[in-house]
Structure 1
Amino acid sequence: MNGVIGDVLPLAIAIAISPIAIVAAILMLFSTHAGSTSLGLLIGWVVGIVAAVTVFTVITGGVDAGQSQAGVSWVKVGLGAVLMSAGLRQWHARDRHRSAPKWMAAIDRMGFVQALGLGLALAAINPKNLLMAAAAGIAIGAAELSVADTVVVVAIYTVIAASTVAIPVVAYAVTRDRMRAPLDRAKSWLEANNAAVMSVLFLVIGAVLVGKGIGGF
């Protein structure tokens, strides 16, 4: 189990430092319905992370191990190549000006249900996060762990992946006035630097996946 945890930790970290959900959470904390919308986003984010990694874990675990090893290795190579390609594209585009997504402008008008749906979409439908969930699910499912160990690994993956959204939401609920300035600085830093950080992380994780895939042949 420890080896599988080591495999999924960098994937969980990649999701954790993805800026979109963090910036959305910070914007919601500054919105009219800060309490309900930030809670809805957090719940949707956690549920989406669990759902995505569980689906890929179940799919991978349901394939006969003897027949699936080569297939799993090819999938790892393919996912690694896609991540490396995404990292290169993001690196080359890191200095381009990009307007904020239109849904960010509507955050102030969102309620709990809309925020919940947004959290689910960002966690389970966002292509980059879905790639991470697929790689994590394949690593967990191919390891043939017991049900209890699988639950533990998925829980660790989820806690780490969701932490960067959970921490500001919880901290803001506890010390609202003191958190405004730090959250605003964090939002500015993420918007300015995250493209470069994510591109390097994608390249490293992609290379690791390709190496693990080749090693499985």
Structure 2
Amino acid sequence: MTGHALTLALVGLVVMVWPWSVLPAFLLAATERGAAKSAAYAVGYVAALAIVMVLAATLLPPGPRARATGHLVAWIELVIGIALALFVLVLWIRQRRREEVTPKWLRGLDRIGIVAAFVLGLWVPNYMLVTVAVAELTLLGLHGVEAVLVAVVWVGVATLGVVTPLLVLARSGARAAAVQQAWRTWLVEHSSAIIYVVLGLVSVVLVVKGGSAI
């Protein structure tokens, strides 16, 4: 159970700092009506993760029935871990000589509205990592309220990144715009490094954990 809990927690932390989920929240916060857009984006993001995880906690079989699929889950984890490692390698090879710039689709966030920001929040979660989290949640063997509570805590941790802009705006007062612009610049400049670190850690954990269980 400890291994499944560790993997679940690690995946939650990776989802929390996933650049292509967090970066839009900061970019939206820096636009006109940024607070409203960022809030709509965060609501959509939280709703997407909550629906998936709570449904997994209430509908998927826990305990022995879930562990019966452990061999298949181990293979899935191994394949995903190898795929993530290859993905990081390809990113590093392709981007090591490129100047970091904000992608065009992210620059387009300046022009979107509140409804579109909400829909974007539903769309951007890394559902491949969420799938791993769902598998680990079922293998914890929890039942009923306990499973739902773990799912809710996981969602809370995983969404800290996208709600950070709202907290910054609330606490910064007149300095909010300058703070947000500085964070936006830092995230764009370091997004690749963040991906390398967090995906590298997850790939190692999944490969070791999946390989040892096969």
Match of 2:120?
118
AA in 2 matched with 1:88: L
Is contact 2:46–2:159 with CA below 8 Å preserved after alignment? Answer: yes
Q: Distance in 2 between matches of 1:19 and 1:164?
A: 9
AA in 2 matched with 1:42: A
Match of 1:126?
none
With normalisation by structure 2, the TM-score equals 0.85
1:50 aligns with 2:47: no
AA in 1 matched with 2:28: M
Q: Distance in 2 between matches of 1:2 and 1:176?
A: 43
Match of 1:18?
18
Residues 53 and 68 (structure 1), Cα distance of their counterparts in 2 relative to 1, 3 Å cut: same
AA in 2 matched with 1:111: G
Match of 1:41?
41
Q: Distance in 2 between matches of 1:59 and 1:74?
A: 23
- What are the ranges of 5 or more consecutive residues in structure 2 without an aligned counterpart? none
Q: C-alpha deviations, 1:84-112, integer Å up to 9, x for none? A: 12222222233324654443333233222
User: What fraction of aligned residue pairs are identical, expressed as a percent?
Assistant: 22
Q: What are the equivalent positions in structure 2 for 1:38-117 lying under 5 Å apart? A: 38-54=38-54, 61=61, 64-65=65-66, 67-95=68-96, 96-97=98-99, 100-117=102-119
Kindly report the root-mean-square deviation, in angstroms, between the aligned alpha carbons of the 2 structures.
Answer: 2.5
Residues 57 and 137 (structure 1), Cα distance of their counterparts in 2 relative to 1, 3 Å cut: farther
User: Please, which moves more after superposition, 203-212 or 96-105?
Assistant: 96-105
Is contact 1:21–1:122 with CA below 8 Å preserved after alignment? Answer: yes
Is contact 1:73–1:213 with CA below 8 Å preserved after alignment? Answer: yes
Is contact 2:13–2:157 with CA below 8 Å preserved after alignment? Answer: yes
SS of corresponding position for 2:32: coil
- Number of paired residues? 212
Residues 143 and 5 (structure 1), Cα distance of their counterparts in 2 relative to 1, 3 Å cut: closer
Match of 2:28?
28
Q: Distance in 2 between matches of 1:107 and 1:90?
A: 24
Q: Distance in 2 between matches of 1:66 and 1:205?
A: 22
Match of 1:7?
7
Is contact 2:100–2:188 with CA below 8 Å preserved after alignment? Answer: no
Is contact 1:43–1:116 with CA below 8 Å preserved after alignment? Answer: yes
SS of corresponding position for 1:31: coil
Q: Distance in 2 between matches of 1:53 and 1:76?
A: 18
Question: 1:161 is matched with which residue: 153, 158, 163?
Answer: 158
Is contact 1:4–1:153 with CA below 8 Å preserved after alignment? Answer: no
Is contact 1:14–1:198 with CA below 8 Å preserved after alignment? Answer: no
SS of corresponding position for 1:145: coil
With normalisation by structure 1, the TM-score equals 0.84
Residues 54 and 80 (structure 1), Cα distance of their counterparts in 2 relative to 1, 3 Å cut: farther
Residues 136 and 24 (structure 1), Cα distance of their counterparts in 2 relative to 1, 3 Å cut: same
Is contact 2:29–2:180 with CA below 8 Å preserved after alignment? Answer: no
Is contact 2:45–2:122 with CA below 8 Å preserved after alignment? Answer: yes
Match of 1:213?
210
